[in-house]
Structure 1
């Protein structure tokens, strides 16, 4: 028997909510499918957004290239700066810091990663710090930046999230998307199949659709409340459930990296933009109260506060399905992980690209929905494990928070990676994982997990040859970095954003 189609063709797409998630979806979908879809986005100026996702990872530059967004134009409009990695301060131990940089480190052998050769050289006293063999790391430390031939420098952005949403709105409206101002007063379902049939606004207007994107933030109005998709809580591994955000005046040149500064019960972010600095404290209410966290944040700011600190509550985890019926959750509506590795915008982007690849033009098929949900779950679980790594592997035992993190049992998937690397220095990952082998190595080494042995290939290379190999890499990187301009000067010349 021929396979029976599960729903009508998708011709009307409704995006519920704006913000970064809603307008990223609007931009990509209008640019690619705007000629064959009727796309509407509903948002209310009276409903604020979380708006702290101001640090990104390199995949955003790829997303912009896919939909033909001009980098200079985007950076000027969002007061953006460049980002080469994240500086982790006081995570492994008080007074210790390392940078998780983008790009690659050293040169791999086909049998073993570069870190095996580096560790062998370290034991022989002929290797410098691991970061000295990474171009992005050395450029970040030197506060330098430049576009290199053949995309030779891997980078991301620090951006103003509110300005980014407005920028994408103008972009999407150019391709014909209709923005509707209003609050959603009711969600009507089709009694025949339980799918969402229409959104009813507080004005009384009724918006029918074939496919709905839930971008309503933590409320998860469509996916969680209407479709009733349960939420998996991951707070047994990720203790933090609160954040306080505040903006400050810029002081000094913008550094080309995000700062993540560990405290006794959480951590603080510092994100430099052209016109201001984004700051925040992520913490666990089990270990500290709001007032203490707020006081610690305000005492550790650089520059005059421009906004009142505001507290944001969250539960780390994900909906058990990201696509249910004819509803797809994007961004906070589908799940949340703290912004320690700047993955929030990436997860939105991944879901948008996945939707375009699996778009149900002629009707929603169960196999497509299942594939979408499997990929989404794999994405966020591997990122979850990577984030847990920062807490589990630490030498800190000076506060109850850090002792609890160090002593907790972690997901088996992460424990396997830790055992593998701690024993033999090996890192195996699936093809579509976000974080590269180099990312895992940088953070595991940075947090203090040192492999007990190296791959035999590293032992075969004579010490003199190994020294020449390591010196050649480091010298080449130093030469390139020395020719780069300062990051602040480069931004001012390349994409000045003007006054806010």
Structure 2
């Protein structure tokens, strides 16, 4: 029997590091191994990812984190979806709501019936959209027949507070934090594995297995082990971001907002204690000064801190597990936060690492499977983000002309061809975004199919349209009677 890993060293804190540490404390710290996290208070964290998607609830649940405690400790609010403004055309608004849309009839996706009959807006058949438009919220129902049975939601939260919250839990679970900056990395001369990191004061922290959460630098995987980077900037040309908080504004909306500008897009994320704002932009098409001015001019309230800038290159490491090092977060790759996937990709990496966690011999099978699955996960997210840019009618600036005319990945091109014919969505087994998400964005970006699934024509039109009207009316009635989002948050933190 191979010897188990006896010591795990996490390099870097922030959201990725403390998510990994909390998971390690929960699932790996069983008395046979130690878990150490190294970070320096002198090194800041990016911390711009404050919006999430529904799987974050499962991550918290698996760590034993109660929702009330989480919301209280992180300044969290509810997120029912994303509102997109000015994307397909100037003046356009649409929602990407979470959860199910309508009810499938006899195995045929609901949106196919809407494509034929066009009764109302498709958002009328999304419970989360009906709630979000009214700033209402309640928890999903256990009964799938209930209007609330197909509801899904996520959170907005303060990433810094979340990291601090997880740190407290991780340290209570036995994780040891070491303060210091890493000066060098030691490797085994035969295997090439990392054996230790040396801090700038000479201390040496040895380990059997290392998790690289060192940010864009990728101190272990990129610098020390030399794993290359797949640059996707030809598909995702945005390479800069500026973030700034402002005062809280009421009503407390349960939506992230993404507003397209001439050189990129601006996010708005409502928290209990403030609103997070920022712009992601392409430096080839907009200057930092103009971008900062645009951001500050479009805040809902006065800024509470100075804007912070960062640069990045969209893409992913060629391998996210090399030897005895796994990378998580920015050290593994970065895809702009248009659909709030950054924290989810950390969560995905942690989940797959727990499943494929190695013995000390670091056999290749688990590592290769991890690399395959994680590269696919990044590609699926990449295609969904590229869709937002490619599927636009805007040609009013050089930026929008560029993305509207650019070549796209073959995998996305195939999906678009299938959709344009009869509104069908090709979804792979591990694709993060389900059919309703693709439908919401495709139609929201004005990509209309030429027809619908012919199975729809085999069903009685009168019966179908009556059912559709009943669904929309019921959802509107239920949503109108629900408590306000702000009231629900206040009740949960009492």
Superposed pair shares fold, TM > 0.5:
yes
**In 2: Cα distance, 1:422 partner to 1:365 partner:** 45
**In 2: Cα distance, 1:142 partner to 1:365 partner:** 53
Partner of 1:32: 27
Partner of 2:400: 402
SS across alignment from 1:199:
strand
Partner of 1:115: 111
Residue 11 of structure 2 is aligned to residue 16 of structure 1: yes
Partner of 1:336: 334
Partner of 1:146: 138
**In 1: Cα distance, 2:294 partner to 2:480 partner:** 37
**In 2: Cα distance, 1:164 partner to 1:76 partner:** 10
* Structure 1 counterpart of 2:167, from 155, 166, 169: 169
Shift of 1:494: 1.3
Shift of 1:16: 0.2
Residue 243 of structure 2 is aligned to residue 245 of structure 1: yes
CA contact (8 A) 2:37 2:178 kept: yes
Cα gap change, 1:110 to 1:409, in 2 (>3 Å): farther
The 5 Å alignment of 1:380-459 reads 380-459=378-457
Shift of 1:288: 0.5
**In 2: Cα distance, 1:472 partner to 1:277 partner:** 37
Q: Deviating runs (4+, > 4 A) in structure 1?
A: none
TM-score, normalised to structure 2, is 0.97
Partner of 1:159: 157
The 5 Å alignment of 1:263-302 reads 263-302=261-300
Shift of 1:110: 4.9
CA contact (8 A) 1:316 1:338 kept: yes
**In 2: Cα distance, 1:346 partner to 1:373 partner:** 17
CA contact (8 A) 1:11 1:361 kept: no
**In 1: Cα distance, 2:271 partner to 2:309 partner:** 22
Shift of 1:364: 1.2
Aligned residues between the structures: 487
* Uncovered stretches (5+) of structure 2, i.e. residues with no partner: 143-147
CA contact (8 A) 1:9 1:210 kept: no
**In 1: Cα distance, 2:188 partner to 2:461 partner:** 72
Partner of 1:135: 127
**In 2: Cα distance, 1:155 partner to 1:148 partner:** 9
Q: Which string of whole-angstrom CA distances, capped at 9 and with x for unpartnered residues, describes residues 50-109 of structure 1?
A: 000100000000111111101101111101000000000000111111000100101123
* Structure 1 counterpart of 2:72, from 66, 76, 88: 76
TM-score, normalised to structure 1, is 0.96
Cα gap change, 1:109 to 1:464, in 2 (>3 Å): closer
SS across alignment from 1:100:
strand
Shift of 1:492: 1.1
Partner of 2:145: none
Q: Which string of whole-angstrom CA distances, capped at 9 and with x for unpartnered residues, describes residues 96-139 of structure 1?
A: 110001001011235531111001111xxxx0100100101111
SS across alignment from 1:72:
helix
**In 2: Cα distance, 1:133 partner to 1:17 partner:** 44
Shift of 1:149: 2.5
SS across alignment from 1:149:
coil
SS across alignment from 2:236:
coil
SS across alignment from 1:259:
strand
Partner of 2:486: 488
* Structure 2 counterpart of 1:106, from 102, 118, 127: 102
